[in-house]
Amino acid sequence: MEQNRCISLLGSTGSIGRQSLDVIAACGMRVAALTANRDVEQMEKQCRRFRPELAVMMDPESAASLRLRLADTPIRVAEGMEGLLEAASLETADTVLTAVVGIVGLRPTLAAIRAGKRIALANKETLVCAGELVSDAAAWSGSQVVPVDSEHSAIFQCLQGCQDRGEVRRLILTASGGPFWGWKGEDLAGVTVEQALAHPNWNMGAKISVDSATMMNKGLEFIEAMRLYHMPPEKISIVIHRESIVHSLVEYCDHAVLAQLGVPDMRLPIQYALTWPGRVAAVAEPLDLLSCPPLTFHAPDYVAFPCLALALEAARTGGTATAVLNGANEEAVGQFLSGQLSFSGIAEQVAYAMAAVPAVQSPSLGDILDADQAAREAVRRHRPNTH
């Protein structure tokens, strides 16, 4: 079944971006704009296949290279944040899929919302850092925000028949536990980058793979759930579900629990975000209940995985505490990936930044961006005890 949507895809060369293009092609959708950071070779291939009117490279040198490569096409090439903002608000696009990683996705997502675009949101940092601003902007413009994360897509689907959010007793986020579930603190101290990137169930980019390994990813999703569904922290729970078959659940006031199940394939929630409120023939493989493993559930270990506890602390504090958490984590994960920091040091750096940077309540966009920068600077100047 063809869909008439026209997509601006922000972050097209990453893991989510590439899978999104699989869905877009299978569903017969059009592409208005593609954006990436530095991967010129991959971007050229995507542009020649999908023929967007606009291609954006965040890196100026990469943009110059892409212009030369696409000189025989009518595709216009822009660069930097200005180009990203243009792609997010392009008139011909009705839907903006934000698959960029990090707080760099905040400004273009807000620009797309203010332009009244439908948002397929895969950039969790936008809601983590500025959930209230996003909600206010969407209420003003009438923009629809549909989540792409598998857990939030599951909750979104389980809430489709809910007319009154007061009927919801609890949102239950499932977590795979990452590659180190069951390990203790002393075991985690010597974790290598290669081990952290080896997720047992999902094929993801480097940053989100590390976040899954520390369980920070689930903490960020906890904050996202608060913002997306306007739920207080006490009405959100996390359970470890190693098989990644149940993607999340909603418990109602009568204790009925609805769950969304499926194979661990990000193309399923991407497709739902792009086709909602309809459904079309699947790109992902079907779930065979007769061959899937037994489904198990466990309580999180907040001691072995302190990043999860820090995220819940930031969620309860509110204001810019969540931006500090996110900025510090992005910086610390970068240090870990480059070999400057141990795996256990990630949590120590985040805790240091949260203690060093005061939280501002009811923040403006400027307050949020300032908090992000202050958190990053705190991590850069601090030398953790964990090596």
Q: How far apart are CA 246 and CA 124, in angstroms?
A: 20
Bridge partner residues of 121 (DSSP)? 98, 147
Residues 36 and 124 in one domain: yes
Residues 140 and 178 in one domain: no
Residues 52 and 107 in one domain: yes
Residues 247 and 98 in one domain: no
pLDDT of residue 1: 42
Q: How many domains does the chain have?
A: 2
Q: Which of 147, 181, 203 is the last residue of a domain?
A: 147
- CB-based contact 35:56 (threshold 8 Å): yes
Residues 125 and 177 in one domain: no
Task: From 345, 331, 322, 344, select the one nearest 377 (Cα to Cα).
Answer: 331
Q: How far apart are CA 216 and CA 207, in angstroms?
A: 11
Residues 176 and 74 in one domain: no
Establish if 268 belongs to a structural domain: no
Measured at the CA of 228, the angle between CA 203 and CA 1, to 5 degrees, comes to 60
pLDDT of residue 3: 64
Does the annotation place 205 within a ligand binding site?
Answer: yes
Q: pLDDT tens, position by position, for the chain (387 residues)?
A: 446 899 999 999 998 999 999 999 999 999 999 999 999 999 999 999 999 999 999 999 999 999 999 999 999 999 999 999 999 999 999 999 999 988 889 999 999 999 999 999 998 889 999 999 999 999 999 999 999 999 999 999 999 989 899 999 999 999 999 999 999 888 898 899 999 998 776 667 788 899 999 999 999 999 999 999 999 999 999 999 999 999 999 999 999 999 999 999 999 999 999 999 999 987 889 999 999 999 999 999 999 999 999 999 999 999 999 999 999 999 999 999 999 999 999 999 999 999 999 999 999 999 999 999 999 999 999 988 755
Establish if 276 belongs to a structural domain: no
Tokens of residue 321, six digits: 């505490």
Q: Domain containing 120 — which CATH number?
A: 3.40.50.720
Q: What is the pTM of this model?
A: 0.93
Q: How far apart are CA 15 and CA 34, in angstroms?
A: 14
Does the annotation place 45 within a ligand binding site?
Answer: no
Establish if 41 belongs to a structural domain: yes
Q: Domain containing 342 — which CATH number?
A: 1.10.1740.10
Residues 216 and 256 in one domain: yes
Does the annotation place 37 within a ligand binding site?
Answer: no
Does the annotation place 38 within a ligand binding site?
Answer: yes
SS (H, E, C) the chain: CCCCCEEEEECCCCHHHHHHHHHHHHCCCEEEEEEECCCHHHHHHHHHHHCCCEEEECCHHHHHHHHHHCCCCCCEEEEHHHHHHHHHCCCCCCEEEECCCCHHHHHHHHHHHHCCCEEEECCHHHHHHHHHHHHHHHHHHCCCEEECCHHHHHHHHHCCCCCCHHHEEEEEEEECCHHHCCCCHHHHCCCCHHHHHCCCCCCCCHHHHHHHHHCHHHHHHHHHHHHHHCCCHHHEEEEECCCCCEEEEEEECCCCEEEEECCCCCHHHHHHHHHCCCCCCCCCCCCCCCCCCCCCCECCCCCCCHHHHHHHHHHHHCCCHHHHHHHHHHHHHHHHHCCCCCHHHHHHHHHHHHHHCCCCCCCCHHHHHHHHHHHHHHHHHCCCCCC
Does the annotation place 150 within a ligand binding site?
Answer: yes
Residues 233 and 359 in one domain: yes
Does the annotation place 199 within a ligand binding site?
Answer: yes
Does the annotation place 65 within a ligand binding site?
Answer: no
Does the annotation place 230 within a ligand binding site?
Answer: no
Q: Which of 115, 147, 179 is the last residue of a domain?
A: 147
Q: Is 247 exposed, middle or buried (0-12, 13-18, 19+ CB in 10 A)?
A: buried
pLDDT of residue 284: 87
In terms of residues, how long is the chain?
A: 387
Q: What are phi and psi of 79, to 5 degrees?
A: -145, 160
Does the annotation place 248 within a ligand binding site?
Answer: no
Residues 130 and 191 in one domain: no
Residues 10 and 84 in one domain: yes
Establish if 271 belongs to a structural domain: no
Residues 74 and 201 in one domain: no
pLDDT of residue 18: 96
- CB-based contact 128:220 (threshold 8 Å): yes
Does the annotation place 387 within a ligand binding site?
Answer: no
Does the annotation place 69 within a ligand binding site?
Answer: no
Q: Tell me which residue range forms the domain holding 195.
A: 169-263+294-381
Does the annotation place 125 within a ligand binding site?
Answer: yes
Does the annotation place 221 within a ligand binding site?
Answer: yes
Does the annotation place 89 within a ligand binding site?
Answer: no
CA 52 to each of CA 11, 37, 82, 280: distance values in angstroms, whole numbers, following the listed order: 14, 17, 17, 24
